[in-house]
Amino acid sequence: MTRPDISFAVSVVSQFLNSPCDSHWNAVVRILRYIKGSPGKGLVYSDRGHTNIVGYSDADWAGDVNDRRSTSGYCVLMGGNLISWKSKKQTVVARSSTEAEYRAMAHATCELLWLKHLLEELKFCELGPMELKCDNQSALYLSSNPVFHERTKHIEVDCHFIREKILFGIIKTSSVSSNDQLADIFTKPLWGPQIDYICNKLDAYDIYGPA
């Protein structure tokens, strides 16, 4: 498991393990310098008095300039604490930002379902509908609209999959502003202040940092 704040960077450089070049090595050095600057950074867990499960999904459409594939990212919080996250390049080229975002929602939904089955098997707690947040209005519209238009046939499987989980009351979708999209850190490179802002939201702190 890697730290959530370097998941995206690590996933990018890992794609070039078989044939790295100087630019990839320089990127690895930058990651190591960042880690050295915050060696005590980690997740802080606390009891917030509830066990609500909330997922955030995001995609950086055609973000890879080499093959124009998008990167999916999601994170899942339980009781306000980060318990799962992932950054991964999509396997196909998305023809629209809606398609890229919807595929990311499908990946996040799979993670939420796995978590639901695990908690039910452990008899950990009673689970209500799990919330999935996305900042793409078109993708949210597809998840709640049973009508498929000609331009969305290529993502119909994902549409049916997510729509079914909504109808069964397993998940519910909601909109989140781009500024509060916590999954941003798993899909694209961010500037220092943006990284710090999201890390604070995820309760990822440096125990050696100034109080």
**What pLDDT, in 10s, does the model give residues 98-113?**
889 999 999 999 999 9
Q: Which fold has domain 4-206?
A: Nucleotidyltransferase; domain 5 (3.30.420)
For the whole model, what pTM was predicted? 0.89
Continuous H helices in the chain: 7-13, 22-37, 97-122, 137-144, 156-167, 192-201
Does residue 149 register a pLDDT over 90? no
Block residue for tokens 């990167």: 71
For 38-55, the DSSP string reads: -TTEEE-----S---EEE
Percent of the chain with pLDDT strictly greater than 90: 66
Does residue 150 register a pLDDT over 70? no
Distant-in-sequence, close-in-space partners of 182: CB < 8 Å, separation ≥ 6: 56, 75, 198, 201, 202
Confidence band for 153, pLDDT divided at 50, 70 and 90: low
Confidence band for 154, pLDDT divided at 50, 70 and 90: low
**Token representation of residue 158:** 């994902």
Q: Is 201:43 a contact under the CB 8 Å cutoff?
A: no
Domain locations along the chain = 4-206
What tens digit of pLDDT does each residue of 163-187 get? 889 989 999 999 999 999 999 999 9
What are the φ/ψ torsions at residue 201 (nearest 5 degrees)?
Answer: -65, -30
**Token representation of residue 122:** 């452990």
Q: CA 113 to CA 103: how far, in whole Å? A: 15
What tens digit of pLDDT does each residue of 11-70 get? 999 999 998 999 999 999 999 999 998 888 999 999 999 999 999 999 999 988 889 999
What tens digit of pLDDT does each residue of 76-94 get? 999 999 999 999 999 889 8
State residue 112's pLDDT score: 97
Residue type, 130: M
